[in-house]
Structure 1
Amino acid sequence: MTGNVKKAELHCHIEGAASPELVRQQARKYGADVSGFISGDSYIWSDFTEFLVAYDGAAALFRSQDDYALLARTYLEGIAAENAIYSEIFVSPDHAVAAGLSPSAYFDGLAEGIAQAKASTGIECRMIIVGIRHLGAEKVEAAARLASTRPHPLITGFGMAGEERFGKVADFAGAFDIARDAGLGITIHAGELAGPDSVRDALDHVRPSRIGHGVRATEDEALVRRIADEGVVLEVCPGSNLALKLYPDISRHPFDRLRRAGVKVTLSSDDPPHFASSIGREYQMVADAWGYDAAELTGFTRTSLEAAFIDEPTRAILLGQLD
C-alpha cells in the first residue's frame, strides 16, 4: 500500500547508509578486515557504543572523492526506488578527515553522487553538516564555522549528532549561533538515548526548527505541548528506536501519540542498514501499526518538505509532486 506514496526523509547519516554489501566491496578495495562488525549481510552490534564502532569502521572505508560519490548515489537511487523524491543527508567533515580526505573533496564527492542520482531518478538531495557531540564543543564549533562558510551550494543546514549523553547542550550553543547567523537551517539530536530534559535543553539553548528523534519528550506532557505550540518538527526514526530498544515494539512507539498531540512528525531511517530498515519500511511500519491511509502517509511527506532546508522554488516543485 505504501509503495505508491511519495516519500521524503530528513534524517539519514550518509556513512550510516552504507550497506554491508557496499562496505565489503570497499574492504576488498582497501584490503581491510570487516569481520569485527559485519557478519553475512548484517552489521554486528548489541548496544549504542558497539553501534558507533560499527559505524566508524564502515565509514573508515570511504577514503576518496569517488568512494563518497558511489555511497551517495547508491543510497539515493535505493530510496528513489521506494518512491522517495527528497532526502537530506547528515555529512560529517570529522569522519572525512579521519579517513584522510579534505572536507572539500568529501563534499564534492557527495555532490557528484547526488547529481548522478538526480540524473537517473529525479530525486533531490541536500546536505546538513553535523558536529559530533562526543568529540567535544571545540570540534562541533569548528564544524559550525566550516558550515558557515557555505563550502558547497548543496549544504543548507547544520546539526549535531553523536553520543547524546556527552556534555550539556549549553556547551554547544555557540556553534549553533554561528550556523544560524550564516542562515543555515538548524536541527539537533535530542530525546533519543537521553530523556525529555535533553529536548527541553535543545529548545532553550539552540532554538532549532527541527529535532532529530525527540521521542522521549512524551515522558513530559508539558514538553509535548510546548513542541506542538512552537511548531518544532520532529525527525522521527521508529526503526532506529526499536533497534536500540527504546521501545519493545512499534505499537508502544510514541509516533502516533505525538501526531495526535499536534506535533509535526516526519519519518526517516537514520542509519538504515544498521537497523534493518529503509524509508519504505518506516512508512510501511507506521501504516501497519496505526492504519494510516495513503493521504495520511503523504501528509508526513508534506510535513517533511515544508520543514526541509531547501530553496523555495525547489520546495514548490517537490510539494507539487504530492498533488
Structure 2
Amino acid sequence: MVLDLATLPKAHLHVHFTGSMRVDTVVDLGEQHGIPVPASVRTQELPDLTPDARGWFRFQRIYDAARAVVRSESDMRRIVAEAAEDDRAEGSAWLELQVDPTSYAPHVGGITPALEIVLDAAAQASDDDFGVAVIVAASRTRHPLDARALARLAARYAGDRPGTVVGFGLSNDERRGVTTDFGRAFDIARRAGLGSMPHGGELLGPDHVREVLATLHPDRLGHGVRVTEDSDLLARVIDEQIALEVCPASNVSLGVYDGPDRVPLRRLFDAGARIALGADDPLLFGSRLLAQYETARDAAGFSDPELAELARGSVRASRAPDAFKTNVLAGIDDWLASSS
C-alpha cells in the first residue's frame, strides 16, 4: 500500500512570497493593473537556465516581472491567503513564508505597513490546526545597511506563533554582495530571538557555505545541497544540527543538477542531515511542496518511513510552538501507522 503524500503532515519552511503565487493570480493581477505577464510565467516554462551569472539574470528578470503585478494591500493579502490554502491542501500544517517587504513598500506606504499587512494576513490564515509565520529576508543586491534596517523591523514583530516574524534570511544570487557585510544584521536578528536562515550552498559551493557559517551562524541553510561536495563540511553541518532547506525543483530548474535524480537528497538523508523539503518559487518552477515529496519517492527511492522522517525533520526545524510541533509529529506517526 502506497500512502498518500498529500495527507502526510509536514511543515513548509522555504517558499518566497512572490514565488508562492498561483499562475492564475499573476495573470489576473496583471490584467487588473495593466501589466503584461511574460509567457514563461503564464506557461511555467522557464528558458534553459545555467547556474552562472547569466542564468541568474534571466531568472531574476522573470521573477521581477511576476512581482511587478503586486500593487496593493489586497493583492498582498490574496497572496498570503492562497499560499496558505495551497499548503493546507498538500498536507502542510505550518508555513513559514519568506518576504522582503522592501519590494512592496512603495505601494502600501512603506516597509512597516508592508510587513504588517503580511503578518496580519498570516494570522488570519491560521487556526488551531494550521499556522503561517513569516521570515523577513534581506537581499544581497542591496546595501548591508538596508539589511540592518530590515533586521530591526523584523525584531519588532518577533514571536513564536502564527502571524509573527520567526526568522531572518538573506536571499538572491549568492555571488552578489559580501557575506561578511551582512553579519551585523544577523546579530540584530539573533538578539531578538529570530532564527538565522540565510541562503547558501546552491549556486556556490563549500567555501561559501563555510563563510556563511562563520559569519551568519545559521540555524537553517536555504538549499545547502552543495555541502555534499566536502565530507568534512557535511559532517560539520550535521554535527551542528543546521537544517538544510532542500528544494529539488529549484536545483534542477536553475541548472545546478541535471535532473531530480541527481539532487543529493539521498546522500544527505543517509548521512544524517536534518532536511526540510521546500518548493522555493512554485510559480516559476512549476511544482509545490507535495511535488518535492513525490520527487523524493520517485527519483530518490524514499520509502514511506523515510518520507515520514523527512516530514518530521521539517517540523523539528520549524519555529512553530513546541505544543504545535508535538501534535504534528503525532499526526505523522498516525499517517505512517495507517499503512499497517
TM-score (ref. length: structure 2): 0.88
1:179 equivalent among 183, 189, 212 = 189
1:100 Cα deviation (Å)? 4.8
Structure 2 CA distance for aligned equivalents of residues 240 and 49 of structure 1:
15
1:240 Cα deviation (Å)? 0.4
Structure 2 CA distance for aligned equivalents of residues 107 and 171 of structure 1:
24
Q: Give the letter for the 2:100 counterpart.
A: S
Aligned to 1:134: 141
Aligned to 1:42: 44
Aligned to 1:58: 66
Q: Give the letter for the 2:126 counterpart.
A: K
Aligned to 2:31: 28
Structure 2 CA distance for aligned equivalents of residues 288 and 26 of structure 1:
35
1:36 Cα deviation (Å)? 6.6
1:220 Cα deviation (Å)? 1.1
1:265 equivalent among 255, 259, 275 = 275
| Larger displacement relative to structure 2 (183-192 or 60-69) | 60-69
Q: Give the letter for the 1:269 counterpart.
A: A
**Equivalent pair of 1:147/1:158 in contact (CA under 8 Å):** yes
Structure 1 CA distance for aligned equivalents of residues 147 and 309 of structure 2:
34
How many percent identity over aligned positions? 33
Structure 1 residue runs of 5 or longer lacking an equivalent are none
1:58 Cα deviation (Å)? 1.6
Aligned to 2:260: 250
Aligned to 2:152: 145
1:80 Cα deviation (Å)? 1.1
Number of equivalences: 321
**Equivalent pair of 1:91/1:127 in contact (CA under 8 Å):** yes
Paired residues for 1:210-289 under 5 Å: 210-289=220-299
**Equivalent pair of 1:302/1:322 in contact (CA under 8 Å):** yes
**Equivalent pair of 2:223/2:247 in contact (CA under 8 Å):** yes
Q: Give the letter for the 1:53 counterpart.
A: R
1:117 Cα deviation (Å)? 3.4
**Equivalent pair of 2:44/2:285 in contact (CA under 8 Å):** no
Question: SS in structure 1 opposite 2:204?
Answer: coil
Aligned to 1:70: 78
**Equivalent pair of 1:43/1:54 in contact (CA under 8 Å):** no
Structure 2 CA distance for aligned equivalents of residues 163 and 122 of structure 1:
35
1:282 Cα deviation (Å)? 0.3
Structure 2 residue runs of 5 or longer lacking an equivalent are 50-54, 334-340
Q: Does 1:319 align with 2:317?
A: no
1:94 equivalent among 80, 102, 107 = 102
Structure 2 CA distance for aligned equivalents of residues 230 and 277 of structure 1:
31
**Equivalent pair of 1:148/1:182 in contact (CA under 8 Å):** yes
Aligned to 2:212: 202
**Equivalent pair of 1:256/1:290 in contact (CA under 8 Å):** yes
**Equivalent pair of 1:66/1:109 in contact (CA under 8 Å):** no
Task: Summarize the Cα distance change of 1:172–1:112 in structure 2 as closer, same or farther, 3 Å threshold.
Answer: closer
Structure 1 CA distance for aligned equivalents of residues 215 and 120 of structure 2:
35
